[in-house]
């Protein structure tokens, strides 16, 4: 159920508020372009800046638009266990298919604290849960041993791995087994991650190149590796441009160039610099996305 190209959805804003109509259109377009699953209210969706009301509403809109056509993996993580439980219970009630829960940031819990955090969330809901391991943003790096311990809980089903450590998925597969669902959180290393035991990618680039990203994963699943390499090489300039400054500012600017939504982010994410805008636009042109949009 959970494999292929999955988009870490941006959250459009207009005049400081969530642009609900633009978001609904965006989710529908993602499905039409072949995206295999969507993730509302992740870091790319600027979840740390959303109020609880906004967070829950964005999740609800995503589920309403999808109508079961593709899975919705709701971002419900927090560095407060109680808050993560509340967001997770709401997502379950709203009809999400699974949850993406980030390792607690800033608090720096030790392995026991990490285990107890995820265990408490898992016991509060019935949905499948993906651990989101992203030490670059949360400081802590969940060890394979802690992950293996959590994998024994019935609804801890996988991980979004944003470590960029390409030995990690093979270590996890060896330690936990092939049924533990490993999703890449790094667009630029996705094909290597798949080769090391992964089954999909939660992607930033798929916000603006959903069809190309979807085709890459479909080609991988079909064993059409020549097509995989072709798409991997074509998409690389986009992957680089999407992180030329703090995400999601670059991908939101790219989305604005494609007419998807306005480019505004909430502070503390700064507006994209003029230099970065040139890089993003050049990448879209090189990949062929601007021509397709006009």
12 domain residue, yes or no = yes
In this structure, what token pair is assigned to residue 182? Answer: 């490993």
User: Is 252 inside any structural domain?
Assistant: no
What's the CATH number where 188 sits? 3.20.20.70
162 falls within a domain? yes
143: nearest Cα among 154, 159, 120: 159
Q: Model confidence over 1-14: pLDDT tens digits?
A: 799 999 999 999 99
Residue 165 belongs to some domain of the structure: yes
Residues of the chain with pLDDT under 50: none
**Which residues are tagged catalytic?**
132, 160
Q: Is residue 27 part of a domain?
A: yes
Task: For residue 26, give its domain range.
Answer: 4-222
Domain membership flag for residue 258: no
* Spatial contact of 7 and 38, defined as CB atoms under 8 Å apart: yes
Q: pLDDT tens digit string along 240-283?
A: 999 999 999 999 999 999 999 999 999 999 999 999 999 999 99
Q: Measure the N-to-C terminal CA separation of the chain; round to a whole number of Å.
A: 34
Instruction: Report how many domains make up the chain.
Output: 1
User: How many C-beta atoms lie closer than 10 Å to residue 233's C-beta?
Assistant: 10
């Amino acid at each position: 159920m959970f494999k292929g190209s999955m988009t870490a959805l941006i959250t459009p804003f207009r005049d400081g508020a969530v642009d609900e109509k633009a978001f609904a259109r965006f989710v529908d377009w993602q499905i039409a372009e072949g995206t295999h699953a969507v993730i509302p209210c992740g870091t790319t969706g600027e979840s740390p800046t959303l109020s609880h009301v906004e967070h829950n509403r964005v999740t609800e809109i995503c589920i309403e638009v999808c109508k079961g056509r593709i899975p919705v993996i709701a971002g419900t993580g927090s560095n407060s266990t109680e808050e993560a439980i509340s967001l997770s219970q709401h997502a379950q009630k709203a009809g999400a298919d699974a949850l993406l829960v980030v390792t607690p940031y800033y608090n720096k819990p030790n392995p026991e604290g990490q285990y107890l955090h995820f265990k408490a969330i898992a016991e509060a809901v019935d949905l499948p849960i993906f651990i989101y391991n992203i030490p670059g943003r949360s400081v802590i790096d969940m060890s394979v041993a802690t992950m293996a311990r959590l994998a024994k809980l019935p609804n801890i089903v996988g991980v979004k791995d944003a470590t960029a450590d390409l030995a990690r998925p093979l270590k996890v597969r060896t330690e936990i087994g092939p049924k533990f669902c490993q999703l890449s959180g790094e667009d630029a290393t996705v094909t290597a991650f798949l080769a090391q035991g992964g089954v999909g990618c939660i992607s930033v680039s798929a916000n603006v190149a959903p069809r190309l990203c979807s085709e890459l994963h479909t080609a991988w699943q079909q064993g059409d590796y020549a097509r995989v390499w072709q798409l991997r090489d074509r998409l690389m300039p986009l992957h680089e441009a999407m992180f030329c400054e703090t995400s999601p500012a670059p991908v939101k600017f790219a989305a604005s160039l494609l007419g998807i939504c306005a480019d505004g982010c909430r502070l503390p994410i700064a507006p994209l610099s003029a230099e970065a805008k040139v890089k993003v636009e050049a990448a879209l042109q090189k990949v062929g996305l601007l021509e397709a949009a006009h």
